[in-house]
Amino acid sequence: MPHRPDDSNKETADRVSGPNGEIYIEYKQVGQTMKVIAVDAATGMEAVIMGPASTAQTMLQRVAVRKLQMLLEKDGSGSDVSGDDGDRDKPGSKGWIA
């Protein structure tokens, strides 16, 4: 029986302009999940998100770019998150908001 390519693994790429320059976006669908990687062209820093493949590609792209921007801001600030539990309610102290 001839081998049929697996349609569940699709990969595409895109390029968008960000506030700090060019951002490369890679989309990889594995089954019902879409993995989106956003890479800052200037620094090489990347952010990875995963979501349902049924979600609009623009929405996944927006979340990945926002996460990348937040990582770049955190890296550029040079500040480190303290382990103090009193800082949990402050924005940016734990996790990220999309």
Tell me the pLDDT tens digit for each residue of 19-69: 667 999 999 999 999 999 999 998 999 999 999 999 999 999 999 999 999
Structural domain includes residue 68: yes
Structural domain includes residue 89: no
Structural domain includes residue 64: yes
Q: List Cβ neighbours of 21 (8 Å cut-off, separation of 6 or more).
A: 40, 41, 42
Structural domain includes residue 97: no
Which residue has better confidence, 70 or 87?
70
Structural domain includes residue 59: yes
Query: Partners of 11 in the beta sheet?
Result: 28
| Residue range of the domain that includes 22 | 9-76
Residue 4's pLDDT is what? 43
Return the structure tokens found at 96: 């990220």
Return the structure tokens found at 48: 């990875």
Structural domain includes residue 82: no
Structural domain includes residue 58: yes
Helix (H, G, I), strand (E, B) or coil at 24: strand
Return d(Cα 40, Cα 68) in angstroms, integer.
8
Q: What is the pTM of this model?
A: 0.63
Instruction: State residue 85 phi and psi, 5-degree precision.
Output: -70, -20
DSSP state of 90: S
Return the structure tokens found at 81: 């998150």
Structural domain includes residue 25: yes
Total domains present in the chain: 1
